[in-house]
Amino acid sequence: MSSGFWSNYILALVVVGLMLVGLWVVVRGIARGRVLLSADRRLVTVLESTMLSQHVSLHVVKVGARYLLVGGGNAQVSTLAELPTDEVEPWLAAQRSVLGMQRSSLMDTFKTFRRKP
Q: What pLDDT does 81 receive? A: 92
Q: Amino acid identity of 51?
A: M
**pTM: predicted TM-score of the whole model, two decimal places:** 0.52
pLDDT in tens, 65-93: 889 999 988 888 898 999 998 888 888 88
List, for the chain, all residue ranges whose pLDDT scores fall below the cut of 50: none
CA distance 20 to 9: 17
Instruction: Classify residue 74 as left (phi > 0), alpha (psi -120 to 50) or beta.
Output: left
| Secondary structure (DSSP) of 21-88 | HHHHHHHHHHHHHHHHHHTTT-SEEEEEEEEEETTEEEEEEEETTEEEEEEEETTEEEEEEEEPHHHH
What is the sign of the dihedral through the CA atoms of 90, 92, 98 and 103? negative
Instruction: Map residue 96 onto helix, strand or coil.
Output: helix
The domain ranges of the chain are 3-114
In whole angstroms, give the CA distance from residue 66 to residue 88: 10
Residue 82: its pLDDT value, please?
A: 92
